[in-house]
Copies of this chain bind each other. A is one copy, B any other.
Amino acid sequence: MFSKIAIIGSGNVGCWLYHVLTQKLAPQTVIESVPARDLSRLTSDADLYIFTVKDDFYEEVLQKIPFRMPMAAHTSGSLPQEILAPYTQNYGVFYPFQTISKSLLEQQYFPEVPLCIEGNNEQTTQQLLSLAHTVSDAVYPMNSEQRQQLHLAAVFASNFSNALFNMAKKILGGSGIPFEILYSLIDQTVAKIKVMCPADAQTGPAQREDHSIMQKHVAQLDEEQLKKIYQLMSEYIIEQKKKKE
C-alpha cells in the first residue's frame, strides 16, 4: 500500500479526504495536505498525489508540479482521468460522491461516502480501489462516462433539492412558522424513494392535476423566478404522470 499520500487542495473535498485518510489509514502512513495556491511545500517522495481542486483550476495546478509523479488521482465528477496523463504514467479517479462542507467534518455525517474509482491501468485501478475500500464500504468502479452521468444526476438530486429547501424556507419567511416543521415531511419524502420508485411516490397538486390550487400557488409567490420554477416543475410532474398512465 501507500506509505505517503499528498493531498493537493484544502477546500471541502481536500479537508474531508485529509480527515478521513488520517483516521482510517495505518498510523505509519504519512498524509500530507498542501494548499493548491502554494505548492512550495510539496515534496516528491509521495507514492500517490490526490488533487482536490476546482475543475477549472486543474490545468494550472498540474503544470506547476515540478516533478513527475509516480501515481496521481483527481476527485472531480466531471473531468476525464486523461487530464493527468501528461504528468504521470499511473493515473485515475477517486471521486467521493457526496456533498461535503468542511465546517461539518467533525460532526461525522459520513459513515459511508460512496467512492467512484477509475484507473488507467490494472495496477493503478487496484491500488485506488484498495485505498477506497479502507475509507468506505461503498466503492464503485466506474468509467468516465458513467461518472459524468452520476455527477449530473447528483446536481438534480442534491444541489437542486437543497435550492428547493431554500425556496421553502423563504416562502415560510415572516409567517411565524418555524422551518423545522418541514423536517418530518422532507425525511418522509426521502424515506419513500428508498422503498418505492420516485414516480410512484409523487404526491401534491400537480400530481392530482389540481389546477385551481396550482393557480393560487403561483399567484401567492411574489418572485418571478419562483413562479417559473413552480410552473416548470408542475408541468414535468403532470407529463411524467401522463407517460406512466
Segment at the interface with B among A22-30, A37-45, A86-94, A177-185 = A177-185
- Interface residue count for A (Cβ, 8 Å)? 96
- The CA of A168 and the CA of B236, in the complex, are separated in Å by 13
Q: Which of A149, A194, A233 has the most CB of B within 10 A?
A: A233
In the bound complex, residues from chain B placing their C-beta under 8 Å from that of A240 are: 163, 166
Q: Mark A213-225, 1 if CB is under 8 A from B, else 0.
A: 1001100110001
Minimum CB–CB distance for A170 against chain B, Å: 9
Contact residue among B157, B177, B185 (Cβ-Cβ distance under 8 Å from A157): B185
The residues in A between 217 and 245 inclusive whose CB is less than 8 angstroms from any CB of B are 217, 220-221, 225, 228-230, 232-233, 235-237, 239-240
Q: Are A204 and B158 in contact (CB under 8 A)?
A: yes
Minimum CB–CB distance for A44 against chain B, Å: 30
Contact residue among B158, B184, B208, B212 (Cβ-Cβ distance under 8 Å from A98): B184
In the bound complex, residues from chain B placing their C-beta under 8 Å from that of A167 are: 156, 236
Contact residue among B161, B177, B185 (Cβ-Cβ distance under 8 Å from A140): B177
Segment at the interface with B among A67-75, A108-116, A126-134 = A108-116
- The CA of A172 and the CA of B160, in the complex, are separated in Å by 16
User: Taking the complex as formed, is A56 at the interface, i.e. its CB lies under 8 A from any CB of chain B?
Assistant: yes
7 further A-B contacts with Cβ under 8 Å, apart from A99-B188, A154-B204, are A78-B216, A103-B196, A110-B188, A149-B173, A160-B229, A162-B193, A169-B197
Q: Which of A100, A145, A188, A195 has the most CB of B within 10 A?
A: A188
Q: Are A165 and B186 in contact (CB under 8 A)?
A: no
In the bound complex, residues from chain B placing their C-beta under 8 Å from that of A1 are: none
In the bound complex, residues from chain B placing their C-beta under 8 Å from that of A153 are: 168-169, 171-172, 177, 182
The residue of chain B having its C-beta at the shortest distance from the C-beta of A103 within the complex is: B196
- Interface of A: prevailing SS: helix
- The CA of A205 and the CA of B104, in the complex, are separated in Å by 20
In the bound complex, residues from chain B placing their C-beta under 8 Å from that of A171 are: 149, 152-153, 156
User: Taking the complex as formed, is A66 at the interface, i.e. its CB lies under 8 A from any CB of chain B?
Assistant: no
User: Taking the complex as formed, is A3 at the interface, i.e. its CB lies under 8 A from any CB of chain B?
Assistant: no
The residue of chain B having its C-beta at the shortest distance from the C-beta of A201 within the complex is: B162
- The CA of A203 and the CA of B13, in the complex, are separated in Å by 11
User: Taking the complex as formed, is A206 at the interface, i.e. its CB lies under 8 A from any CB of chain B?
Assistant: yes
- The CA of A186 and the CA of B157, in the complex, are separated in Å by 7
Q: Are A155 and B185 in contact (CB under 8 A)?
A: no
